[in-house]
Amino acid sequence: MLMHPQFDPVALRIGPLAVHWYGLMYLAAFAMFVWLGRRRVRHEPYRTLGWQARDVEDILFWGVLGVILGGRLGYVVFYQPLTYLAAPWRVFAVWEGGMSFHGGLLGVLLAMAWWARRQRRPWLQVMDLVAPCVPVGLALGRIGNFINGELWGRLAPPDLPWAMVFPAAGPLPRHPSQLYQFALEGLLLFVLLWAFARRPRREGEVSAAFLVGYGVLRFAAEYFREPDAHLGLLSLGLSMGQWLSLPMVGAGVALWVWARRRPT
């Protein structure tokens, strides 16, 4: 049984300025997106279609807006609607925490639709470019969760070699679910998607693979992650994260079938 190292959430202090590890993870995720995106535009069909490195930087700008706005609104709507309905001004209190991946995904989808319309490019072509670059950012985010000692896992058997005590969660050993999600939704999904996307695919296939892959892996990881205290487990003993992942898988399967019926 291990003890969580209790990292200082502040990585660096410069006078009154405190730089948090979680913020650094976000910056690293954005940098990795640009690096991977520049490699993606050298793959087919993007090289033939005239994509440039500056397109990746534009996508990042709009994508960040989508993540922040969608992630915050998604948390408000999916996880604590009554709380924020009673005090609507708290929606803007982002320093209190509260972001939803599924809300962030919806925000990115809308932001990419806006960018694709302005650039007169097919929306699914844009999403197929973006999808393989996302899991590395998700992995870095989970590392930030682990450093902060948050979003810990469910109770684990005491004889589990990697079971970990998170002091903020009490004295009992738990699954380090942040590391499970780092490995599954982050590294594994990245390797599978990147290998799949290296060859030319029908428009929409890479996006479909991301939706199905993330939805399935997140659904599995949720069995080891402690449900939100104010929600607990919902119908059929599933967490909110699992219920939100099911539509992702369904949408991915539908998109895959649609893409496979289109000409190459």
DSSP state of 145: H
E strand intervals along the chain = 2-3, 10-14, 17-20, 164-165, 173-174
Backbone angles phi, psi at 20, to 5 degrees: -90, 150
First to last CA, the chain: 52
Annotated ligand binding at 198? The verdict is no
Residue 246's SS3 state is: helix
Cα(73)–Cα(99) distance, integer angstroms: 8
Cα(67)–Cα(246) distance, integer angstroms: 20
* Cβ-Cβ contacts under 8 Å for 144 (sequence gap 6 or more): 21, 22, 24, 25, 26
Evaluate whether 174 touches 156 at the Cβ level (below 8 Å): yes
* Cβ-Cβ contacts under 8 Å for 1 (sequence gap 6 or more): 158, 160, 163, 164, 165, 173
Evaluate whether 52 touches 41 at the Cβ level (below 8 Å): yes
Q: Residue ranges for the binding site?
A: 142
